[in-house]
A = this chain, B = another copy of it.
Amino acid sequence: MSLEVFLNAIQTEIANTKYGESPVELYEPIEYLMSLGGKKMRPLLAVMATNIFSDNWQKAVKPALGVEVFHNFTLMHDDIMDAAPLRRGKPTVHEKWNENIAILSGDVMLVCAYELMTAVDDKIFKHVIRRFNRTAAEVCEGQQWDMNFATRNDVTEDEYINMIRLKTSVLLGFSLELGGLIAEAGDEATQLLYDFGTNIGIGFQLKDDILDVYGDPEKFGKQVGGDIIENKKTWLLLKALELSAGKKEEAELQFWINAKEFDKEEKVKAVRAIYDSLNIKHLAENKMNTYFNQGLEDLVKLNAPSDKKQPLIELTKQLIERES
């Protein structure tokens, strides 16, 4: 089974899902955000995990969509908190409608995610909800740590990795775990699927950090250097702060971090040059590869036919090599 078959099934489910009728202010933003595209990585992972252990991967599609709806709920609320004007190149919900609608429509969206989860069999339902609850709380915890880091100057590399684990990777892990639970893959396999997901999730976020600085502007889809302009505490900046200590780069990096008025292009160019002299790109790629490789090792340990695991390996390679 190829990635495209799974993706088509997910897209069809999205097209056929009604979240509610009225008032329209509550439900239109949900359909809007769900229609903006994105990789659909989370539902894909869930469905692919089910397919490893069951021929009936179709029964994972609806709960998998629940994870995607949850993910988009977090985007709707995060975009308010970050005052983000754009999401996937289009106006965010709080910009297109208003902040109150983005809060309330997001709330309903979270409820819709729980409703989609009811599509799993009764016998696994409570376990699925408990794991979903834990994961959902962790994602919120990650977002709060991320906001806390913005005003702190002593964030460590470990704290950063833990933040992206919570904010991003546990949901990828849960997607795969959900797929395993639906296929009744057993505890060991389900744990390996979860571990695979959290490892590639951290790799995925580190790739994001790298692309934001070193992406090809033609292919990246967002403004390259956005994180540098905002002094966003990415792995690259934290590592540069650590490695520049006591070196000539230290003062220059602090100058750009503290600059109130600056030419954006100039700052991006200057900070990128500091990163280059400290070998940050290479170090970040090493770190990223460590997590992706750990994930691929989890897959090797997974007791299942190679051809069944192939789509997950293929997707992981796409994530490593992606340019946007």
Contact A23 B148 (CB under 8 A): yes
Stretch at the interface among A6-14, A139-147, A246-254: A139-147
Asked if residues B108 and A110 are in contact (CB atoms below 8 Å), the reply is no
Q: How large is the interface on A (under 10, 10 to 19, 20 to 34, 35 or more residues)?
A: 35 or more
Total identical chains: 2
CB neighbours (8 Å) of A111 from chain B are 110, 133, 136-137, 140
Q: B residues within 8 A CB of A23?
A: 141, 144-145, 148
Which residues from chain B contact A108 at a C-beta distance below 8 Å?
Answer: 136-137, 140-141
CB distance from A203 to the nearest CB of B (A): 24
Residue A80 is within 8 A (CB to CB) of chain B in the complex: yes
Would you give the 0/1 interface string for A121-152, flagging 1 where the beta carbon is closer than 8 Å to chain B? 01001100110010011001101110110000
Let me know if B103 and A141 touch, CB within 8 A: no
Q: Is the interface of A mostly helix, strand, loop or mixed?
A: helix
A97 to chain B, nearest CB (A): 11
Please tell me if A115 contacts chain B, counting CB pairs below 8 Å. Answer: yes
Q: A141 near B20 (CB under 8 angstroms)?
A: yes
Given A25-B144, A26-B144, A126-B118, also A81-B110 (CB < 8 A): no
Q: Is A31 close to B, CB under 8 A?
A: no
Q: How far is the CA of A256 from the CA of B130 in the complex (A)?
A: 53
The one of B81, B112, B133 that contacts A100, using a Cβ cutoff of 8 Å: B81
Contacts of A137 in B (CB 8 A): 20, 108, 111-112
Give the residues in chain B near A107, CB-CB below 8 Å: 77, 106-107, 110, 140
> Judging by beta carbons under 8 Å apart, are A130 and B104 in contact?
no
Contact between A22 and B126 (Cβ–Cβ < 8 Å)? no
Cα–Cα distance between A141 and B107 once the two chains are bound (Å): 11
Q: Mark A205-216, 1 if CB is under 8 A from B, else 0.
A: 000000000000
Contact of A133 among B115, B122, B147 (CB under 8 A): B115
* A114: interface (CB < 8 Å): yes
In the complex, are the beta carbons of B118 and A129 less than 8 A apart? yes
Q: Which residues of B contact A114 (CB under 8 A)?
A: 114, 129, 133
Bound-state Cα–Cα, A148 to B24, Å: 11
- Give A contacts to B, CB under 8 Å: 20, 22-23, 25-26, 77, 80-81, 100-101, 103-104, 106-108, 110-112, 114-115, 118, 122, 125-126, 129-130, 133, 136-137, 140-141, 143-145, 147-148
Q: Can you list 21 A-B pairs with a CB-CB distance of less than 8 A?
A: A20-B137, A20-B141, A23-B144, A23-B148, A25-B144, A26-B141, A77-B103, A80-B100, A81-B100, A100-B147, A103-B103, A107-B140, A110-B110, A111-B137, A111-B140, A114-B114, A115-B133, A118-B126, A118-B130, A122-B122, A122-B126
